Copies of this chain bind each other. A is one copy, B any other.
Amino acid sequence: MELLEALCRLPAPSGSEAPLTAFLLEYIEQHAPGWRVQPRVLAGEEFQDCIILCFGQPRTAVFAHIDSIGFTVRYGRQLVRIGGPDAEPGYRLVGQDSQGAIECTLTVDEQTGALGYEFTRDIERGTPLTFACDFRQTDTTVQSCYLDNRLGVWTALRLCETLEHGLVVFSCYEEHGGGTVKFLAKHIYETYGVHQALVCDITWVTEGVHAGQGCAISLRDSLIPRRSYVERIRRIARESGIAHQLEVEGSGGSDGKELQHGAQPWDWCFVGAPEDNVHTPDELVHKADIDSMLRLYQVLMREL
């Protein structure tokens, strides 16, 4: 869990992913020599702050977004949201501007709901702030801000250790309207002919998806993946014997949305562990579901 903690502690809200990209590229350089197959690494200006790892002869691509939710400093002591963070007065926020490190407190106007901060000084316009990370574990759970989606990133990196054929893609901007999967999907389809995707992300504990009962396979959220593809995934999951749950929602979205709306015929399906306390500093995931998620990805990437 040290890797997961390091990922959760690294601020990288949508638009400011570069430090996490640098961390990942260094991690890949250090650890790839121990992986079963050496991937080609695609990164650099043509991919903005995204990374594509290509293993063997790929048939399927795993998309894990590296960005997180957060806040941007506006005027006076106002904040505006990056993505859809929960906002409770008293949440501790961290950041950095030209005057130095920032650790401030979130305020919420009781009447208007307007967001602000309390701090010893004014923070410069446009500075991004993120939740202060308090990483906690028990025997059965892990809790932190940004498990969504650092846990997806962690799963993708662990998957790399044994992956023989497939693409692992680290995308940006998922929490704030997207914007990188469109060009990643185009590049992948045109370069490798791959049009099968698994969206490696974290979902919600609900009345139908329970903590500790296995990774969720989403049959739909606000969008509906193609039924024939989802049925193949369900069959592989069933035959694997790995604990998993079926999710059906009418709202919510993921990198799947950009695949659905892109100009290539991608099939996609969201496969990810559920979390409690969504988009708060206290996101909570059961370790059994993390284990199920990693094993399910290992099987799916072999069988699809």
Residues of A within 8 A of B (CB): 14-16, 18, 45-49, 72-76, 80-82, 125-126, 128, 173, 176-180, 182-183, 185-186, 195, 206-208, 219-220, 222-228, 230, 246, 248-250, 260-265, 267
> Given A74-B248, A75-B207, A80-B248, A15–B262 Cβ distance below 8 Å?
no
> Given A248-B125, A263-B263, A225–B15 Cβ distance below 8 Å?
yes
Determine the chain B residues whose CB is within 8 A of the CB of A219 once the complex forms. 72, 125-126
Provide 26 A-B residue pairs closer than 8 Å at the C-beta atoms, listed in order of the A residue: A14-B224, A15-B226, A16-B227, A18-B227, A45-B195, A48-B267, A72-B224, A72-B248, A74-B248, A74-B250, A75-B206, A75-B207, A80-B250, A81-B250, A125-B219, A126-B230, A126-B246, A126-B248, A173-B224, A173-B260, A178-B261, A180-B265, A182-B261, A182-B262, A183-B263, A183-B264
A207 to B128, CA, bound (A): 20
A250 to B246, CA, bound (A): 35
Residue of B whose beta carbon sits closest to that of A125? B246
Determine the chain B residues whose CB is within 8 A of the CB of A207 once the complex forms. 75-76
Asked if B45 and A265 make an inter-chain contact with CB atoms under 8 angstroms apart, the answer reads yes
A300 to B80, CA, bound (A): 28
A185 to B262, CA, bound (A): 11
Nearest-CB distance from A131 to chain B (Å)? 17
A182 to B182, CA, bound (A): 12
Asked if A260 and B18 make an inter-chain contact with CB atoms under 8 angstroms apart, the answer reads no
A226 to B17, CA, bound (A): 9
Determine the chain B residues whose CB is within 8 A of the CB of A73 once the complex forms. 248
> Given A47-B265, A73-B248, A265-B47, A224–B176 Cβ distance below 8 Å?
yes
Asked if B261 and A80 make an inter-chain contact with CB atoms under 8 angstroms apart, the answer reads no
A263 to B182, CA, bound (A): 5
Residue of B whose beta carbon sits closest to that of A208? B75
Determine the chain B residues whose CB is within 8 A of the CB of A173 once the complex forms. 224, 260
Nearest-CB distance from A200 to chain B (Å)? 20
Determine the chain B residues whose CB is within 8 A of the CB of A176 once the complex forms. 223-224
Residue of B whose beta carbon sits closest to that of A67? B224
Chain B CB within 10 Å — which of A47, A182, A249 has the most? Answer: A182
Nearest-CB distance from A221 to chain B (Å)? 10
Residue of B whose beta carbon sits closest to that of A268? B179
